[in-house]
Structure 1
Amino acid sequence: MIKKTNHQGRREFLKTSAAMAISLSIPLSGFTDKKTPVIILRSSWQTVNIGDIGHTPGVLALLEKYIPQAQVRLWPSDVGNGVEQMLAKRFPKVEIIKTDADRKRAMSEADFMLHGSGPSLVARATLEEWAKTGKPYGVYGITFPGVYGTPEQAKKASPKDVELLNNARFAFFRDSVSLNLAKEIGVKCPIMEFGPDGAFAVDVKDDESAIRFLKEHDLQEGRFLCVIPRYRYTPWWKIPSKNRTIENDKDAINQKMKEHDNGPIRDAIVAVIRQTSMKVLICPEDETQMEIGKEMLYDKLPEDVKSRVVLREKYWLTDQAVSTYIRSAGLFGLEMHSPIMCVGNGIPATVGRFAEQTSKGLMWKDIGLGDWLFDMDVPGDVSAITPAVLAIAKDPKTAKKKALKARDFVIKRQRETMEIVKKNLYS
């Protein structure tokens, strides 16, 4: 990975901002004069990952803030495991589409469909169905095309996806690599821009549960860092609700690379404990990570370090996680959406990524945090993890200023992209 200098990054931001300003001036023909337009948000892909859960409350919060007059109906894939209750508590006015009758009524009554953030055009089948109505739709904050692997493999986008994007009113991509690839393979949507992942706007909280947990483990506000481990491939076969058989080829890679990837994260934990007064909380982003957190991080720590490290042994929902993150001094590790939710709330966070992943992690460069992005397949990046984490732990105020600067850029883009959504609503 080639790290860009601050000056190079600034020049890229200026170019990007200029292009965005042009798009905001494009005349957009709205499609309704209703005082209360109806928007379907197609989102909520699964509940075994707090990041996938987080897409939905993030975009709902943006719609509530920037288009408060709209009636929003959520068309989810999964809101089980307590997620529906969490959403209803924060967004009591949002109707959740549950039955075939609900879907039929929504298809008839809604004016616009917004495809929420995700790893790809997840709900392509729903968009195809919606497109037959002749009513407009847009795409908000996806990675494209969502193929894991090499750049050449990533170019193999479905022709149907290209067609759906071409016919969208706008398409916002959550990383510039996806945006550039879409242009390269011939996507010609009227408005195509970088648009932050919806999870940046998450504001669901469960302060009561978070505070109780922190008190139980003597984790004081601003005096601990969070850390998240992971395998190269999410082992879905370990999650009972997924009902999947083991994928032996992916499991073999996971077992081969788990020390290579998590060892440097463990080294950073040791450095933080031995060189600062901070404590560390090992926590999960998905249901499989409590196991690897114990095996590869906690159990392998030196005994003198373990006394100030807490292992969270149970999965949690997005609201409790956010309420914990905002009380920490920062987060590091090998995940993406917990860092997104941290930075969206002004909390420092680093990201570790792998060759097997999509391009989503590169959004950290897009928002000005390139030196907090580490490619685990590049030795120079790996060796930079501990110094970066130590810098956050030793100088939290400076790290927070950096996180707030990135957050401000994200908020600016959220406002601009929502203005485009709004312009597409009203005739």
Structure 2
Amino acid sequence: MNRRHFVRTAAALPIINAVAAEKPKRLILRSSWQTVNIGDIAHTPGVLALLEKHLPEVEVRLWPSNLDNGVGEMLAARFPKVKVIRGEEVKTAFEECDFLLHGSGPSLVAQADVVKWSQATGKPYGVYGITFSGQQNSKSKTQPPVKTIDVLSAARFVYFRDSVSLELAKKMGCTCPLMEFGPDGAFAVDLQDDEKAEAFLKKHGLEHGKFLCCIPRLRNTPYWILPEKHAAIDEKKDSRNKSMMDHDGKPLLDAIVSVIKNTDLKILLCPEDKTQMQVGKDMLYDKLPDDVKARVVWRENYWLTNEALSTYRRSAGLFGHEMHSPIMCIGNGIPAIVCRWAEQTSKGYMWRDIGLGDWLFDLDKEEELQKVAATVVAMAKDRAGSKAKAEKARELVMNKFAASMAVVKKVW
């Protein structure tokens, strides 16, 4: 299928008349990418919470990739009205639903399914809160490849979660009628597991508002160490990880030592994905001086998004190499500092887009690396100022959500 045909098919959709408007509105949310990362988990409950708030009259059906590790149960408890569809249920949903919304994510993750929806139904679709790198094409055994830019062009709207992605799409010729910056859906997550969070904090002597969370990571996520991924080791990526571990860990180590020596706060080393408990121990905890280590807690077990977020809400802030824990923090008014590098996508630049550019550091730039520790200490010491800064960013994000959800509401 060539681009002209694909765009023409989408553009030729019938205008829904007043009679059709009286029918129940039904939407498929294509989301839930994987469960070994609390950030990837967070995309789905974030967008579901937005749909629940802004489109309460719409019946939402979730078409997931993966809901294992207790994630399905967690979502069902928070969103009991949302029906999860698989197998033949997807075919039925194609017939009954009016619109497909591709959820927030690192790319147009389910591009092949978006194409399948458009070809099978001729009904409209939209894309909500993604990063675009310009590299992806859908592959099919029965159909020729479809370029991502063509799929985006035929959407009713595309919201990019960082301005770098938006500008790249424009530069590559995307002709979608509505393309804008739209925050990552994870900003809207409102999950909680206060009981587990409180039990963990009590066990480890962490008091409300008297600790910072720190999340380290490697340049490339070593999924090959996770049994459920069934992945062979990538020697090149593994070598890169090992060669950069000390370099990338140093600003976090310096920040931890500075916080311990200059404030009364403690530090919680915690993970965003299932590979990072060991990373936290190897990169940071084992390298700390004993007097500093006495006020540092290393979390050795993975957790789900609800417990993590309940913990973040009780902290004084967060810093580290990850993206989605900071996103969830800012979405709840908690200060958060992001460190990034070349191996990551452009997602980190969303911090500039929401007014937090001075809490974003590129660790490939020595002059920025040197500023991390002082910035973390400043964030920790100025509790009121840091909180106000986080709240201002949160307000900007929520206003963007309200505007984009108003657009989603008009697609029928």
TM-score, scaled to structure 2: 0.92
Corresponding residue of 1:17: none
1:197 and 1:268 map into 2 onto residues whose CA distance is: 27
Q: How does 1:11-160 map to 2 (within 5 A)?
A: 32-98=20-86, 100-132=87-119, 133-145=121-133, 160=147
- Partner-residue secondary structure (3-state), 1:350: strand
2:232 and 2:405 map into 1 onto residues whose CA distance is: 41
How many corresponding residue pairs?
388
Q: Kindly tell me: are residues 190 and 258 of structure 1, through their superposed partners in 2, closer, same or farther at Cα, counting changes over 3 Å?
A: same
Q: Is the 8 Å Cα contact of residues 121 and 145 (structure 1) preserved in structure 2? A: no
Q: Is the 8 Å Cα contact of residues 216 and 320 (structure 2) preserved in structure 1? A: yes
Seq. identity, %:
61
The reply to whether residue 347 of structure 1 matches residue 334 of structure 2 is yes
- Partner-residue secondary structure (3-state), 2:29: strand
Corresponding residue of 1:381: 368
Q: Is the 8 Å Cα contact of residues 205 and 323 (structure 1) preserved in structure 2? A: yes
Q: Kindly tell me: are residues 165 and 30 of structure 1, through their superposed partners in 2, closer, same or farther at Cα, counting changes over 3 Å?
A: farther
The reply to whether residue 227 of structure 1 matches residue 207 of structure 2 is no
Q: Is the 8 Å Cα contact of residues 54 and 405 (structure 2) preserved in structure 1? A: yes
Deviation at 1:356, TM superposition (A): 1.3
The reply to whether residue 274 of structure 1 matches residue 261 of structure 2 is yes
Matched residue type, 1:345: N
- Partner-residue secondary structure (3-state), 1:186: coil
Corresponding residue of 1:253: 240
Deviation at 1:30, TM superposition (A): 5.7
2:246 and 2:401 map into 1 onto residues whose CA distance is: 38
Corresponding residue of 1:11: none
Structure 1, unaligned stretches of length 5 or more? 1-27, 149-157
Q: How does 1:291-310 map to 2 (within 5 A)?
A: 291-310=278-297
1:159 and 1:177 map into 2 onto residues whose CA distance is: 23
Query: Cα deviations across residues 361-382 of structure 1 (Å, max 9, x unaligned)?
Result: 0000000000000000011111
Deviation at 1:397, TM superposition (A): 1.1
Deviation at 1:36, TM superposition (A): 2.6
Q: Is the 8 Å Cα contact of residues 66 and 415 (structure 1) preserved in structure 2? A: yes
- Partner-residue secondary structure (3-state), 1:227: strand
Q: Is the 8 Å Cα contact of residues 29 and 423 (structure 1) preserved in structure 2? A: no
Structure of higher RCO (CA pairs closer than 8 Å, 6+ residues apart): 1
Q: Kindly tell me: are residues 126 and 134 of structure 1, through their superposed partners in 2, closer, same or farther at Cα, counting changes over 3 Å?
A: same
Q: Kindly tell me: are residues 146 and 298 of structure 1, through their superposed partners in 2, closer, same or farther at Cα, counting changes over 3 Å?
A: farther
Deviation >2 Å, runs of 4+: 28-32, 145-148
Q: Kindly tell me: are residues 229 and 147 of structure 1, through their superposed partners in 2, closer, same or farther at Cα, counting changes over 3 Å?
A: farther
RMSD: 1.4
Matched residue type, 1:120: S
Query: Cα deviations across residues 307-363 of structure 1 (Å, max 9, x unaligned)?
Result: 110000000000000000010000000000000000000000010101111100000
1:259 and 1:321 map into 2 onto residues whose CA distance is: 26
Q: Is the 8 Å Cα contact of residues 134 and 169 (structure 2) preserved in structure 1? A: no
TM-score, scaled to structure 1: 0.89
2:94 and 2:154 map into 1 onto residues whose CA distance is: 18
2:22 and 2:68 map into 1 onto residues whose CA distance is: 33
- Partner-residue secondary structure (3-state), 2:368: helix
Deviation at 1:147, TM superposition (A): 5.3
Deviation at 1:145, TM superposition (A): 2.6
